[in-house]
């Protein structure tokens, strides 16, 4: 009965709020670490390349599957790496690198690039 009431009041997203996907707590923990340590964050979405990851140990890394990533990065529709870095005390979404273009040098260029992306809904970056 409680589930039916919540579904009627909040729609189908209520279960996500009550029971977040397993990879999201990892994401939020690593995101908070990036803010605390003032380090760039690479969010690997639906894709992994261990050799590229090993070549950029100066960045923090976290992995999300495509379904879980939609809650945080709704505009990322294909396997990618979201590059975030600290700017003015705030973690900002700097660039998205498509999986087919991922290599260590592309990730370093993305971190060095000036932030031009529009932040997704709910992505304030502050490590909350």
Calculate the average pLDDT of the chain: 74
Long-range contacts from 96-103, C-beta under 8 angstroms, 24+ separation: 99/46, 99/47, 99/49, 102/47, 102/49, 102/52, 103/52
Query: How many other CB atoms are found less than 10 A from the CB of residue 58?
Result: 9
Domain that holds residue 27: 21-112
pLDDT tens readout for residues 79-123: 999 988 888 888 888 788 888 887 867 777 777 775 544 444 445
- Token pair listed for 18: 């009550």
80 assigned to some structural domain: yes
9 assigned to some structural domain: no
| Residue 108, pLDDT score | 78
pTM, to two decimals: 0.68
Section 54-71 average pLDDT: 89
Number of domains in the chain: 1
5 assigned to some structural domain: no
CATH code of the domain covering residue 60: 3.40.30.10
* Of 47 and 124, the one with more pLDDT: 47
């Amino acid at each position: 009965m409680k589930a039916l009431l919540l579904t009627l009041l909040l729609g189908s997203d209520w279960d996500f709020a009550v029971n977040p996907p397993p990879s999201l707590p990892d994401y939020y923990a690593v995101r908070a670490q990036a803010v605390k340590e003032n380090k760039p964050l690479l969010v690997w979405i639906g894709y992994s390349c261990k050799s590229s990851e090993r070549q950029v140990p100066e960045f923090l890394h976290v992995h999300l599957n495509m379904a879980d990533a939609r809650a945080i990065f709704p505009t990322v529709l294909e396997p990618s790496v979201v590059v975030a870095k600290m700017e003015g005390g705030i973690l900002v979404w700097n660039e998205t690198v498509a999986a087919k273009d991922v290599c260590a040098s592309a990730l370093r260029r993305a971190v060095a690039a000036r932030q031009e992306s529009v932040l997704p809904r709910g992505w304030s970056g502050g490590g909350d």
